[in-house]
Amino acid sequence: MVLEEVEKEFSLRRAESIDGIPTFYCHRELVLPLMERLKRDFEVLLDITAVDYLGRKEKRFELVYHLLSLSEKMRLRIKVELGEGEKIPTLSFLWKNANWLEREVYDMFGIEFQGHPDLRRILLYPEFKGHPLRKDYPLKKSQPRIKLLRPERE
């Protein structure tokens, strides 16, 4: 089995999952070699996203990768814990859609990807300040691009 091999080789920590998708925690430094190894069996990078555990966990962010193996009909979830300001290597050289997915994570959470060819905002405009999916970004804060005649209600 691929997963057992990989689990030993990269000393992954298995996490419990309630949806039946095998979930592993990986160390930040080992992400690139791990993904290079996994790409042999998992052809599709489905998704990259992050979760902000502000004040709940020691390391603030958790980066979540979802992989799909079409030949084995199997999904895999890899998680990486990241502290504030910690960087992570980009995967855009392994999977081409990682380029946009990482841009979205950068846009929404401010997590920087080392070696990314084009790391700029994707959904929001360049002048936007802050990262809206962080838990400390206020829900109703707005950053209008034109001057408002009346100040907005709080």
Partner 1 sequence: MMEKMLLNIGPSHPAMHGTIQIKVELDGERIIKADVEIGYLHRGFEKTAENRTYMQIIPYTDRLNYVSPLLNNLAYAMAVEKLLGIDVPPRAKWLRMIFGEISRITDHLTCIAPIGMELGAFTVFLYMIKAREFLWNVLDATTGARLTTSYIRIGGVKADVPENFEDLLRKALEETKKAVRDVHGLLSRNPIFLKRTKDVGVVSQDDALSYGFTGPVLRSTGYYYDVRKAFPYLYYDEVDFEVPLGERGDNYDRYMVRMKEIEQSIRIIEQSLSKMEKGPVKAEDEVAEAYEAIKASQEGKYLDGKLKLNPNLEGMEREVYYKIMARVPRYILPPKEDLYRSIEGMIRHFKLIMSGHGLRPPAGEVYVPVEGGNGELGFYIVSDGTDRPYRLHLRAPVFSIMSALAEMIKGHYIADVIPTFASINMIGGELDR
Q: What does the binding site for partner 1 look like in residue numbers (CB under 8 A)?
A: 17-19, 21, 43-47, 49, 51-52, 64, 66, 68, 70, 73, 75, 77, 95-97, 99-101, 104, 108, 121-125, 132-133, 137, 139
Q: Which one, 18 or 149, has the nearer CB to partner 1?
A: 18
Q: Which one, 29 or 43, has the nearer CB to partner 1?
A: 43
Q: Which one, 2 or 133, has the nearer CB to partner 1?
A: 133
- In whole angstroms, how close is the CB of 129 to partner 1 at the nearest point? 15
Beta bridge partners of 80: 26, 63
CA 51 to CA 84: how far, in whole Å? 12
- In whole angstroms, how close is the CB of 41 to partner 1 at the nearest point? 13
- In whole angstroms, how close is the CB of 68 to partner 1 at the nearest point? 8
Whether residue 111 contacts residue 57, with contact meaning beta carbons closer than 8 Å, is answered with: no
13-39 CB burial, b ≥16 within 10 A, e <16: eeeeeeeeeebbebebeebbebbebbe
Q: Which one, 80 or 104, has the nearer CB to partner 1?
A: 104
- In whole angstroms, how close is the CB of 96 to partner 1 at the nearest point? 5
CA 62 to CA 93: how far, in whole Å? 22
- In whole angstroms, how close is the CB of 106 to partner 1 at the nearest point? 13
CA 25 to CA 23: how far, in whole Å? 7
Q: Which one, 1 or 18, has the nearer CB to partner 1?
A: 18
CA 72 to CA 42: how far, in whole Å? 8
DSSP 124-152: S-TT--S-TTSTTS-TT----SS--SSPP
